Structures are given as C-alpha cells and as structure tokens.
Structure 1
C-alpha cells in the first residue's frame, strides 16, 4: 500500500519563505519516490487538519520557532503520528542556543564564550569584550544576527534582534572560517567551508544564489576534517537528535595556521532548498535528493 506523507511547510515563523521552498522540493521528490503526498501550509489549526487527514507519516519541513523548537513535535506526539527529524526534547534544546552549548561542553566540544542578557543590559554596557555577536537565543538561519565591532555605535535604534526579542544571546566573535557538517543517522557526511562574497554567512548569504561559495570538501587536513566530523556526531548524540541534523562551526584564524574549531549550533531542521547544505553534502557522498528524503520518511518515528 502506498504510504501517505503529509509535508508540513510554511508556518508563521521568520523562516516561512525558506520553509515553503524546502517543503515544495521535498514533496516533489517524495512523489517521484512513489509516495502519496499532501502539502500543508501550516496554520494554528494544524492538529485538527492532521487529525482529519490521518497521514501515515509527517515530513516536517518547517523552519524556525513553532516548527523546529519542539512545539509541532509535541502535537505530532499527541496525535501519535511518526515524523521526520528530531523529537520534542532534542528540538527544544537545540533551538535554545545557550542550553545546547552547555550540553556541548559536557562532551568536550569547544564553544565560544556567551551570555544571555536582556535588552536593557545589552545597551547599559558591553556584556563581553568586542567584537561580539548579538542574536536571538531561539531562532535559526542567522535571523537577526548582528556583529558588534570596535567602533560600532550600538544603540536601540539600530536594526537588530533587540527590536523583537527581550532576551538576547551575546557571543564572543571568532574570526575565522565558517564550516558546516551534516549528520545522517549517526554518521557525519562531509565538511563544507562557506565563503560569503561579502560580510558574514547571514540569512541572505544562506538563501540567495550567488552570495556564497561552497567549498566541498572543505580544504582542511584529514586530521582536522575527521575531528570536526566527530564533533558534529557528538553534538547530534548529546542532544538526542534523530534523522538528519547539521552542525555549524567557526574555525579560528591563527598566525601559524588553523586554530580550534568552535561549534555554534546544531540545526535539527536543516533546509532542503536547492541551495541547502544537507542535500549538497549527501550528493557528495553519493546520496541523491530523492533517496535522501525517502530515507528520512522511512526513518520517521514517534516517542523520543
């Protein structure tokens, strides 16, 4: 019997547009793989919609808050529907950047120094020595990220995450190379170096074609490549992730060569757009897009 897959996309987070593209690509690939597919642009009545639809499996292509932070996962658990990606706890903890970094440190993964501050505390005095990064502590896709350099006149009137968030994460800025690693099951696939044409790897650099060069495999020594891949696997495991995740790192620049890789975060709902990194790394190791999304559906489960 053909398996019926509900693909959840869109929603109302800051990452809605990316999720719509991811969901459409996933749905197309699943249909090609022989599944019956229903695409759902998620609204707050999603529990009722799914209860009426009664799919066999849910492919969660949502990004950002509500779709990636344990909320939709909790609904799917209550409905007893197997779903892709990580469960409630792993999703919630990974989305909380402060809490997830506490876990990473317990298994020896280096992290940049950070602080959780209120809007008032940020503008009263620098929470960390400059340069530092200010970001929402519970958003993805580099939404709202601001780098505060020496000479930056930091004020509430500047565009930044403080205009919509009361609690903010402030993190030491690590000058260096941007790296990312996909984990499928428990196995790291590859390391990609990301070189934006200008600025840093922000939302536009991630999702607008031609903004960033993807170096795959990253030009690193075999030893350092293996070390970073092992860190990604450890991060996936300590969070309790399942299915596919993606870990982002900064590799310090040192006068005498590469320094220590520091993990920034783990994304439990990596993008599945034509520019996304997980499909690109999967293809690099011989796994096509259709095979990847079909594997994710067959890996779907509940109760974790």
Structure 2
C-alpha cells in the first residue's frame, strides 16, 4: 500500500533519543500511556531510545547525557503549550511536533478559535469569560446567547478534562465550577449536534497531508475521558462519510493546521452538523495521544503505517524552530 510519507528511515542514524513523557499536567496519566507505547515501539525497531520524565529529572540532563533528539509524548500544560519546546530550543535538541508559537496558540482553545474565525474557518460560536466575569447573573445569561445545550470547557486542558455539556440552565453553575478547577478563563461553545469527527495531519506546510477522517461513536454520545481511555465500547469508523465530504473536511483541516503554523503532526477535532452536514472545527492537538486507544495511530494504520513506523517517521521529522 502506498503511504503518504517516506518510511525508508535508518533508525540507527537518529542517535540517542529521549522519549519525554509523564510531566506535571492533569494529563500525566495519559502521557505515561503514550510515552511507554512510543518508547517500546522505537526500541523494537532499533532506535537508541530512553525514557525521560521532566517531572523527575532536570532538562539540562538531556544535554549533559548527549541526547541527539527528543520525542515529545507529553500532553497538556508544560508539554504541549510551547514550554518544553522553548526549553529544547534553548538546549539545541531537535524535537518532534510543532514549534514554540504554534504549540502555544493551539494549546489555547480560545486563541485557536480566534485565529480560525479571523480567517473565515467554521468553528462554533463562543464566549470566553474570565473568573472575575463569571457572576451568577452572567452565567445565567450564557444559554440565552449561545442556546442550549452549552459546552463548558477549560481552554488550556485536553483529554476532555473539566468539560461539561450543560443541557439546561440548572447545569450551568456546576459546569462552571468544575471547569474553574482547571482554568481561570473558561470557554463556552454553542453545541453542534451531529457526528463527532477527528482528522490527523502529517507533515508541514504545503507538504502536509490529511489522514482518513474518523467518525467517533461513543456510548450515549459522550466521548469523555472514560470513553477515550478506559473502555472498549467506543466505535471508530472509517469511510462513514461521502467521499466528497471527507475530501472537503481534509482540506479544511489542512487549512486550519497551516494557519496555526503546525508541523510534524497534529489532529483536529470537529463536529459535523447533522442538519446540513457542515463541519465545525473544535481544536487542534499538537501532541496527540499515542495510547492503544488513540486516533492518530488508528488513522495511520488505515493507510498501512504501523505503530512503530509511525513513531519512527515522527522522530525522523524532529527539528528546531531556528533550523
């Protein structure tokens, strides 16, 4: 099967590799799963790969111990938001995925939506409100402005952490309190009713390619943390959309990816409005999950790229912003 990337890579030429995983974010448990998977995969095909948890070791050790490049399998704050990318730039160690600016913007769901909306890309209507603005009276007004249900989320978290689909006015206060446990500014989104989709991207700039779109069908339509990582009941469907619509979604996602300046890889999450089959962008993940349940490996497998060679290709793309 023809693949969209060149998999003819000499694993031994990549040098000593640090797989960065763990970290201190709320997504640490997911990162541990991702990182252990990546580490085992790279080692299985001859890469000199080693585990490195930034929560337990100083980053200077990467330089002191002669690591040639880093595979970032960190998720959330400190690992996906430009912070670790900036440190690796300073140390001069090439790393996988997007650079400092693209990582920082994409990790902020509100800022991402502002960039997309400014360029005319479709994303649900939203409000961004600070902790100080979230009085009881202001919270009561939000459903009147966005309609019900309302999606309430902390904009700097991933893996569905802190997110609530508030079905009525009575759900709003609890949803806000939950999300404020993770963030000081909250994002309120119009709920788009219809299938949930995801589309991964490999590469950079005009050379970037969209992988097959996946439709996600979770129990009761709730693709939460448990249905992402802890159960096997969620269905992941390929080819469920008309070919022309899937092609349109791929082009939309590539445009969204390039606008943010992403590179290496990423994964966009979308909703498809059932009423008119119009896709709406939700967010861009610049350090997607690499667990046994994760979506990028599933999409790559559909094109004949197995998990170890996906990891190897991503590692081969490691570089610095300044390169």
TM-score of the alignment, normalized to the shorter chain, above 0.5: yes
Match of 1:184 in 2: 202
SS at match of 1:152: helix
Match of 1:288 in 2: 306
Match of 1:275 in 2: 293
- Greater share of strand residues, 1 or 2? 1
Q: Does 1:91 align with 2:112?
A: no
Q: Does 1:247 align with 2:268?
A: yes
- Residues 156 and 163, structure 1, Cα contact 8 Å, conserved in 2: no
Q: Does 1:53 align with 2:65?
A: yes
1:237 & 1:158 partners in 2: Cα distance?
32
More moved, 113-122 vs 263-272: 113-122
Normalising by structure 2, what TM-score?
0.88
1:107-122 matches, cutoff 5 A: 107-122=119-134
Match of 2:254 in 1: 233
5+ residue gaps, structure 2, are 1-11
Match of 1:193 in 2: 215
- Residues 98 and 264, structure 2, Cα contact 8 Å, conserved in 1: yes
1:1-304 matches, cutoff 5 A: 3-43=15-55, 45-122=57-134, 123-125=136-138, 126-127=141-142, 128=145, 129-155=147-173, 160-185=178-203, 186-217=208-239, 219-254=240-275, 258-303=276-321
- Residues 152 and 176, structure 2, Cα contact 8 Å, conserved in 1: no
More moved, 197-206 vs 63-72: 197-206
State the Cα deviation string for residues 33-78 of structure 1 (Å, max 9, x = none): 2111110122275322212222111000000111000000000000
Query: Number of residues paired by the alignment?
Result: 300
- Residues 5 and 36, structure 1, Cα contact 8 Å, conserved in 2: yes
5+ residue gaps, structure 1, are none
Normalising by structure 1, what TM-score?
0.94
More moved, 149-158 vs 268-277: 149-158
- Greater share of helix residues, 1 or 2? 2
The verdict on how the C-alpha distance between 1:23 and 1:228 changes in structure 2, with shifts beyond 3 A counting, is: same
